[in-house]
Structure formats: C-alpha cells, structure tokens
Amino acid sequence: MADKTILDYETVDIDLEKKELIIIDQTKLPGKTELIRLSEAKDIWDAIYLLKVRGAPAIGVAAAMGLYILACKIVTDSLDEFYEEFVKCKDYLDSSRPTAVNLHWALERMDEVAKGEILSLKNSNYNYAQEEAIILKALEKECLLIKEEDIWVCRTIGEYGLSLLKPGDGILTHCNAGQLATCKYGTATAPIYLGTEQGYNFKVFADETRPLLQGARLTAYELMSAGVDVTLICDNTSGMVMKNGWVQAVFVGCDRVAANGDTANKIGTSMVATLAKRYNVPFYVCAPTSTIDMSTPTGDEIHIEERKSEEVTEMWYEERMAPAGVKVFNPAFDVTDNDLITGIITEYGIARAPFTQDFIDIFKRKEEAGYGK
Ligand code: MRU
C-alpha cells in the first residue's frame, strides 16, 4: 500500500464519542504530522489564534465543531441559561481572529440552529434533559453539515477553476488555500488537484509567504504529496516568473470578500495582483460564498488582523534577524482592489466586474438550490 501522505489526514475532525476536536497542528508542518485533540474553550481559541488550524474555511469548520463541543459541556437546567452560556462560548471563539469571515459565518449558523430549536421547544412538554438532548443533536448535525458542505464547495470551485485552464499551464499561488486550509481539495488548489487527476501537468509556483511561510511549509508540501510539479519561490520572485511568461494564471484564496469585490487575503496578495495586471496574467480569487460578506460594502471596512512583531523578527531564525526594539508593522492580510481581479470563483459560478450584481445572482442561485448546497 502506498505511504500515507498529508492529504490522507483530515484537516479538521471531531470525535463525537469523546467530544473532542481533532486537528493537524499546522505549526509543526512539514517536519512533523501531529494530530491534536481539543475540548477546552481556551485551547480551541488558542489553536485558531496560533494558526494550528488556519485558512478561512478550516477555521469556520473548527469553530463550529468547537462550539458544539463547548455546548455539550454546559451545565444548567433551563433553556434560557443554556442559551446565555452558548452565546458566551460563541462570542469567545468569534474573537480569536477578526478577518476571515467564515469564522463568524459558521458560528452564526450554529447560533441560528440553537435559537430555532429553543424557540420550537418553548411550549413543549419535554423536561430539560430531553430539550438539551434535542438541541445538542441539532448542533451536532449542523457542524457535520458545515464540514460536508465545505468539501462539496471546494470541489465545485475546482471544476469552475479548471474550466479556465489548459494542460501544461503555469499557475502561481500565494499563501495556502489548499486542502490544509479546508476539509478537502482547498479552494485555490482545487483546480490544480482536479486537473492533475486528468493529466493536465500544471507547473505551479508557490510563493513562500512571509512571515509565517504558509506557502513554503504547507502549499509546497501538500502539492508535492499529490505529485504536482511545484516550485517554491520567495515572495519577491513572483514578478520575475510572470515576466518570464511562466505563469498563465494566478489562483488565490480569500478571507473576506466585500460586496464590491475588494478581497482580503494573506498579506502580499495585492502585490501579486498588481504584478499580474502588469504582465497580463489573469488573477482569480477562489471564494466559497461563505467568504463573501455582503454586509461589508468595500475593502476599506474589512478589519485587518495585526500580529506580533516576533513573527517578522525572530520566528524561523536561529537567532533574531532584526535589531532589538525595531518598529515592525505585521498585518496578516491585505486588500486586493476589485479592479485587479479577473474573476471570483464561487461554488455557484464565476463573478466578474462589476462584482456586486454577479454576487446577488450567485446568492440567488444558492437560495434556489436549497439550504447549504
Ligand atoms: O493566516 P492564515 O494562514 O489563516 O491565512 C490564510 C489565507 O490567507 C488563505 O488564503 C485564505 O484563508 C483562504 S483559505 C482557502
């Protein structure tokens, strides 16, 4: 039997019997594949903040499963108190990272389920233990559904993305919008995986992605595991490979897309988009509809997470590489202006400028398709 690769592990999983969240600790990759089990609120919060689980869709699934696990631990004897505690857990997990809207989106989905169940139980003849069991069953179902949907969403994005590519194409990607950022396929990597299955022989360039090296540690690793021809480049090399004509398309993921198509993704993405425009390379954002935030009008209103300076000055180095006390600006994301984006690929089709109308149509298609799918 072929050796197990990183793609054979679940990025996010749940042990329903033990009520534990199971994730790959991505801070240890590629050197060590370590699965960790979490059941305490602080540990789940830390895992998200410290990027043990990261990537917008994976964060959403982990938070939903984490919230279910925390809900199972609530000890009370009234529905009102249960909901009060539930909301505290939800708000706490929601505070772990601010930019990826999937975190909030997944927690709100769980909240809707809890509220709906509580409302329908209000005048029931069940005792509290029975009511609690009904609510927890519904929350369990919802968090499993969020994961299942993510797999379908990524695969469908992959199919749309693949329709834009030709065999032998060079593709550049930034950060990790791969399987490790989702539950399967990834978003930006989904067309690559599907094309590889069909013999497309893509040549992929993975930006290393300073300062946390998601491109070097995660994207290069998972693509190599799938036998994809991947070349790792420093972030400041992307202009050269585009100028050389080695890149026919850029595919990136996203953390929040505003209603006008402005897109927040890993810091450096807007630089890549600017270069792509300069060298006439189409620039595609792969976006599950759960990442499109119609309540945020433009990129200016997106809250950009700022992280610790040590990620820039010390992390990954044997010794500190910057003078002690130097001022550091370390935003985790930047916003790519909508006019730099050729298309935003969702599971309900590809949006093109002007994006707002296409998003409205896409959400209409989603609604017509029924809840979730
Ligand atoms: O800080 P990270 O590693 O969570 O940032 C991840 C990204 O920016 C990804 O491109 C984005 O979340 C999309 S993942 C499908």
pLDDT of 273 higher than 90: yes
Ligand 1 closest atom vs CA 252: 10
13-39 confidence digits (pLDDT tens):
999 999 999 999 999 999 999 999 999
Question: Which atom of ligand 1 is nearest the CA belonging to 154?
Answer: 15
Q: Which atom of ligand 1 is nearest to the CA of 102?
A: 12
Give the CA distances from residue 35 to residues 38, 43, 63, 88, 312, in Å, rounded to whole numbers and listed in that order. 10, 14, 17, 27, 27
Nearest CA to ligand 1 atom 8: 266
Angstrom distances, CA of residue 104 to CA of 82, 84, 97, 307, 350: 20, 18, 9, 19, 24
Judge if the upstream peptide bond of residue 211 is cis by omega within 30 degrees of 0.
yes
Tens digit of each residue's pLDDT (9 = 90 or more) over 176-229: 999 999 999 999 999 999 999 999 999 999 999 999 999 999 999 999 999 999
Query: What is the spatial distance between Cα 301 and Cα 291, in angstroms, rounded to a whole number?
Result: 15
Question: What percentage of the chain's residues is helix, strand, coil (to nearest 5)?
Answer: 45, 15, 40
The confidence score (pLDDT) of residue 332 equals: 98
Of 94, 169, 255, 262, which is the active-site residue?
A: 255
Cα 166 → chain centroid:
26
**373 has pLDDT over 60:** no
Query: Is there a catalytic annotation at residue 43?
Result: no
Ligand 1 centroid distance, CA of 116 (Å): 31
Give me the half-sphere count of Cα atoms (radius 13 Å) on the Cβ side of residue 77: 1
Q: What stretch of H or E contains 92?
A: helix 79-94
pLDDT at position 3, please? 84
Q: What are the residues facing 285 on neighbouring strands?
A: 252, 344
What's the token pair of residue 247? 């890149």
For residue 210, what pLDDT is reported? 97
Within 8 A by CB and 6+ apart from 41, the residues are 66, 70, 89, 92, 93
Q: What is the DSSP string of 307-360?
A: --THHHHTTTSSS--S-TT-----BSEEEE-GGG-SEEEETTEEE-SSHHHHHH
Cβ neighbours around 179 below 10 Å, total: 29
Pocket test for ligand 1, best of 24, 59, 99, 265 (most atoms within 8 A of CB): 265
| CB-based contact 202:229 (threshold 8 Å) | yes
In terms of Cα–Cα distance, which of 258, 314, 257 is closest to 288? 257
* Cα separation, 52 vs 46, whole angstroms: 8
Higher pLDDT, 345 or 373: 345
Rg (CA), the chain: 21
Give residue 372's pLDDT. Answer: 52
pLDDT at 123 (0 to 100) = 85
Mean local confidence (pLDDT), 81-86: 98
**CA–CA dist 253, 39 (Å, integer):** 29
For ligand 1, residues with CB inside 6 Å are 51, 54-57, 100, 175, 177, 181-182, 186-187, 214, 253-255, 265-266, 332
Q: Considering only CA atoms, which residue is closest to atom 10 of ligand 1?
A: 253
